[in-house]
Amino acid sequence: MSQITIIEEHARTVEADPDAEHTTFLIDSDRLPDALGWELKPAGLCQEDTCVPVLHPAGLCVGDRLDLAAVAAALGRPAVIDVDAGLMAVALPAELRRQALDDLRAPVFELPDVDGKRHHLDEWLGLKRLLVTFSSWCGCRYDLPGWQALHDELRPLGFTVIAVAIDHSPDDVRPWIEGITMPVLYDPYHLLTELYAISNVPTVVWIDEEGHIARPIGAAHGSDLFVEFTGIEAKPHLDEVRRWVREGVLPLTEDDARLAVADLSEEEVQARLHFRVASAAHREGREEVTRRHIARASELAPDDLTIWRAGMPLVGEDPFGDGFMVKYEAWLGRGSPAHGLPPVAGPGPAA
């Protein structure tokens, strides 16, 4: 029996046996709840009051033990397994992302702050929320004072900015939040990029008092520090936020909002799973495993900066160096493809 690590919303360690022939892990049925949170019952795979029917339960087994890859597939959850490394990453339920993109309801999540205290999105229920993703590997880390100023300005009106760093560890984030008092969380396994179909930072989403997505994800900055580099002015979007908070004015209809963000492709979901395996391997100091999965993730999602740029620090590359600029220029040459709304344009020149 071996110790393996399974990564979903967070990482957990369970006892299982590698099966290299079938590229899976085998586990005793009584350990399945610890591994994936489900139980195998006569009604199927069950979690609390929810059961997924399984027409051929024997198909979930190798001998008398459960095949974790087969169980994940039966649940409709893609997985990436590195048998030799003892690592398995399982996708989040796709219906959570469809909830965000189609139903315009913000998927709830729980993430830690840099001191390890976990926070749930519903902690700020009753407030208008601007969810801002940033990262230490992006110049948008310097935007935090701008978002803090907006937070302070509109807080008396029932508003908060919640900044989430798409980062590997709290130590990556801590240097950039000195003096910042708005909520700052970090997302070590890139859950938000899967839940909300985020492919670049900085990205923002507006969430109203009841958890409804008032404006889907889109590119925005909290300052004009890099406007010459990005071409994105901060003020047009900040003014739209102010109108929303003060007057309840939304910049697009619900119908338009539902069409604003394309779902992740199968390849993009797989890329996120490879990234999670790489991140777990990096924590364990396994350089070759990290490099292999970062390379595969980048191949699967070459236009996703939350994959290839976020992976650069994990393999010893500079996310602000020449290698980044080469890839960035190529991305620009492909039309800067990204999920979400384009930046808010400012007023045009006077006629």
pLDDT digits (tens, 9 = 90+) for 298-337: 999 999 999 999 999 999 999 999 999 999 999 999 999 9
Cα–Cα distance between 97 and 103 in angstroms, integer?
9
pLDDT category at 85 given cuts 50, 70, 90 is very high
- What are the DSSP calls for 282-332, one per residue? HHTT-HHHHHHHHHHHHHH-TT-HHHHHHHTGGGT--TTSHHHHHHHHHHH
Q: What is the token pair recorded at 117? A: 């205290």
pLDDT in tens, 55-73: 899 999 999 999 999 999 9
pLDDT in tens, 172-201: 999 999 999 999 999 999 999 999 999 999
Which pLDDT value is given to residue 331?
A: 96
The pLDDT value given to residue 140: 96
Q: Count how many residues are written for the chain.
A: 351
Per-residue pLDDT, averaged over 213-235, amounts to 95
Helix, strand, or coil here: 85?
Answer: coil
Query: Which amino acid, one-letter code, is at 78?
Result: P
pLDDT in tens, 148-160: 999 999 999 999 9
**Beta partners for 212?**
105
State pLDDT tens for residues 250-306: 999 999 999 999 999 999 999 999 999 999 999 999 999 999 999 999 999 999 999
The confidence score (pLDDT) of residue 75 equals 97
Please state the φ and ψ torsions of residue 19, each to the nearest 5 degrees: -130, 90
Give the pLDDT score at 136. 98
Q: Is the pLDDT of residue 349 over 50?
A: no
Which 8-state DSSP code applies to residue 348?
Answer: P
Residues 6+ apart with CB under 8 A from 298: 271, 307, 308, 311
Distance from the first to the final alpha carbon of the chain: 74
Confidence of residue 345 (pLDDT cuts 50, 70, 90): confident
- Summary mean pLDDT of the chain: 96
Q: Which residues have a Cβ under 8 Å from the Cβ of 329 and sit 6 or more positions away?
A: none
The answer to whether the CB of 78 falls within 8 A of the CB of 7 is no
Model pLDDT for residues 90-106, shown as the tens digit of each residue: 999 999 999 999 999 99
Confidence of residue 351 (pLDDT cuts 50, 70, 90): very low
- According to DSSP, the residues that pair with 5 across neighbouring strands are 13, 87
Nearest to 16 by CA among 65, 60, 64, 57: 65
Which amino acid, residue 289? V
Q: What is the mean pLDDT of residues 209-229?
A: 96
pLDDT of residue 347: 60
Q: Read off the pLDDT of residues 97-150 as tens digits, 9 standing for 90 and up.
A: 999 999 999 999 999 999 999 999 999 999 999 999 999 999 999 999 999 999
Q: Which amino acid is at 72?
A: A
Q: Does pLDDT of 350 surpass 90?
A: no
